[in-house]
Amino acid sequence: MQLSDSVEIHGNREPSSDMRRTDEKLKPLLKPQVRAILIKGEPGTGKTTLALELLRLHGKGIYVSTRVSQEQSSEHLPELNALFKKGDVIEISEDNPSKEFSPYAFEDLRLSDAKSVVGTVVSAIDKIADPLIVLDSWDAIANKTDRIERLKVEQSLSLIAVGRNARLVFISEEPSMTTTDYLVDAVVTLKNDFHEGKRIRKLEWNKLRGSTIPHWTSLYTLHAGRFSIFGTVRSVWPTIPDPKPFKPIPNRELYYSTGIPDVDVCLGGGLRKGSFLLIEYGKYVGSSSMNPITTSIRCNFLANGGCNVTIPSPGLSAAKIKETVVRHIPESSLAPSMRLGFFDAYDADPCFLALDASSPTRSFEILMREAQKIKGEKNRPCFFSFGAETLEYVFSHEDAFRFGQDLVQKVRYLGDALMAIVRYGSPYTAELSNLSDIHVKLDAIDDTLVMHSLKPWSQLFNVHYSYATGLPSVRLTPFV
């Protein structure tokens, strides 16, 4: 499984939806009652990138740098450089006065004091109407003054902003509470955190005047040089008003495609023929959280002329699983190609398969006999999947593991593909992981769906489901 920081998962697909979601999350920071914003965080957390997104969203302003020159910013901050280039951007400075001004401007104040900053802000407001002014970083100037003088400067800046209809964004690396925290209308803190030993990025909403804060923390990424806030978990069983026929991705010589470009990349090309993929769902999600992924895999096998045999996880009915597939695959092609095995009562349907709860050996024979029937003389490729909990509930632990072990051996022999779904904390997990070629875990952090590989190791990815095109779409974005 080729997962690393250098892997480009989804490239530039659907970037507008990512930025629309981020813009909606950031808009409360630009409400009329918010005139001063403080962005806090350790070096490298993306404070400047967030400030530039606010500058882009506001539409006009000035970026005041106390750290780097415009040339250095152009080299290290491509998003800022893009703003400079928009509409013949010119630099505003005492050494280079000009009568022309663009919606964006750059001011180099690395050697300035607090008084000079106030002068720069006044000058910017006089020449650019209703600007958003980013002070990056405020520490470099504020730390040169004592506490009383700092408070006076901050109060002066705030009064100027209110009186001239401007907005201020202070950027700070000071972790403790300062006079700025009390003075501003909004405070957000950016943090690097860890989830099971893997880095994530968190935005904390500490203060927001005039608005409710539905989520006190939001996960985000700096992928592709942009500040993108991840969305929360959405329904995995949505109503799709206008479902479309599934468009299959062709299989390759050694791999079966999952029907999901991002997942194929993560798996090093897809499901390797004869391989066993174990998906573990964490304590904050259920087995149905994989529905868009499993639906896509089933549809891609069927649309490519293959077949599917499934023992569903507990709580998933045969009718529900078939319903998600028949939206995108003609029902006439399901009877000869799809089997859903159950140990309890089931409806009369050629796609449903009755197994024997009293005998794991007998159940395995029934399953494989039916699998060979739909594979046919041409030995069509087949996607096998089973819910580990279902086997645990019906059989003893030893018999359940032996059933899974026999299925793994059979799939390897036939050159098909197998996926098992197991719950967090199951005693079955370690044994299945030892058998698997790939062990992936799906979980939720702060109501955001994430995924990473335990075997082999991978970084953490956000999982985003969408049905906007009438098909189940899955995108993976790394925490960069």
At residue 337, the pLDDT reads 97
Residue 191: inside a domain: yes
Question: Do 217 and 202 contact (CB within 8 A), yes or no?
Answer: yes
Q: Which among 66, 30, 27 has a CA at the least distance from the CA of 169?
A: 30
- Separation of alpha carbons 179 and 158, rounded Å: 12
Q: Are residues 94 and 151 in the same domain?
A: yes
Going residue by residue through the chain, which has 480 residues, state the pLDDT in tens, using 9 for 90 and above: 444 433 445 543 454 577 788 999 999 999 989 999 999 999 999 998 898 889 888 877 887 776 655 554 545 555 556 666 653 222 333 333 444 445 555 455 444 566 677 776 777 677 777 888 888 878 777 776 777 777 887 888 888 878 888 899 999 988 888 888 888 999 999 999 999 989 999 999 999 998 888 788 999 999 988 899 998 877 677 788 899 999 999 999 999 999 999 999 999 999 999 999 999 999 999 888 899 999 999 999 999 999 999 999 988 888 889 999 999 999 999 999 999 998 876 778 999 999 999 999 999 999 999 999 999 999 999 999 999 999 999 999 999 999 999 999 999 999 999 999 999 999 899 999 999 999 999 999 998 999 999 999 999 999 999 898 999 999 999 999
DSSP code string of 298-335 = HHHHHHTT-EEEEEPPTT--HHHHHHHHHTTS-GGGTT
Q: Are residues 319 and 174 in the same domain?
A: no
Q: Are residues 224 and 259 in the same domain?
A: no
Residue identified by tokens 């490239």 is 11
Residue identified by tokens 């006009």 is 60
Angle of CA points 185, 186, 188, to nearest 5°: 160
- Separation of alpha carbons 270 and 417, rounded Å: 10
At residue 101, the pLDDT reads 43
Residue type, 233: V
Query: Residue 45 has which token pair?
Result: 């957390």
- Pairing relationship of beta strands 228-229 and 217-221 according to DSSP bridges: antiparallel
Angle of CA points 193, 198, 204, to nearest 5°: 20
Q: Which among 256, 260, 288, 291 has a CA at the least distance from the CA of 275?
A: 256
Q: Are residues 217 and 290 in the same domain?
A: no
Residue 244: inside a domain: no
- Separation of alpha carbons 88 and 416, rounded Å: 59
Residue 7: inside a domain: no
Q: Are residues 209 and 358 in the same domain?
A: no
Q: Which among 210, 134, 224, 144 has a CA at the least distance from the CA of 171?
A: 134
At residue 126, the pLDDT reads 73
Q: Which among 285, 286, 268, 251 has a CA at the least distance from the CA of 277?
A: 268
Q: Are residues 321 and 178 in the same domain?
A: no
Please give the residue range of the domain that contains residue 58: 15-229
Residue at a domain's end among 229, 247, 267: 229
Question: Do 400 and 241 contact (CB within 8 A), yes or no?
Answer: no
Residue at a domain's end among 229, 264, 295: 229
Largest CA distance in the chain: 88
- Separation of alpha carbons 104 and 128, rounded Å: 9
CATH of the domain at 386: 3.40.50.300
Q: How far is CA 66 from the centre of its chain?
A: 33
Residue at a domain's end among 181, 214, 229: 229
pTM given for the model: 0.86
Angle of CA points 98, 99, 101, to nearest 5°: 85
Q: Are residues 137 and 286 in the same domain?
A: no
Q: Are residues 179 and 297 in the same domain?
A: no
Residue 4: inside a domain: no
Contacts of 272 (CB under 8 A, 6+ apart): 254, 255, 256, 417, 437
At residue 344, the pLDDT reads 78
Q: Are residues 193 and 92 in the same domain?
A: yes
Q: Are residues 217 and 334 in the same domain?
A: no
Question: Per the structure, how many domains does the chain have?
Answer: 2
At residue 103, the pLDDT reads 56
Residue 185: inside a domain: yes
Phi and psi at residue 387, to the nearest 5°: -90, 115
Residue 419: inside a domain: yes
Residue 428: inside a domain: yes
Question: Do 295 and 472 contact (CB within 8 A), yes or no?
Answer: yes
Q: Which among 444, 441, 369, 355 has a CA at the least distance from the CA of 400?
A: 355
At residue 153, the pLDDT reads 79
Residue 293: inside a domain: yes
Length of the chain: 480
Q: Are residues 204 and 325 in the same domain?
A: no
3-state secondary structure of 411: helix
pLDDT tens sequence across 15-34:
457 778 899 999 999 998 99
Query: Residue 337 has which token pair?
Result: 């190609």
Query: Residue 477 has which token pair?
Result: 């974005």
Phi and psi at residue 65, to the nearest 5°: -105, 125
- Separation of alpha carbons 234 and 215, rounded Å: 15
- Separation of alpha carbons 216 and 206, rounded Å: 7
Q: Are residues 452 and 345 in the same domain?
A: yes
Count of C-beta atoms within a 10 Å radius of residue 47: 25
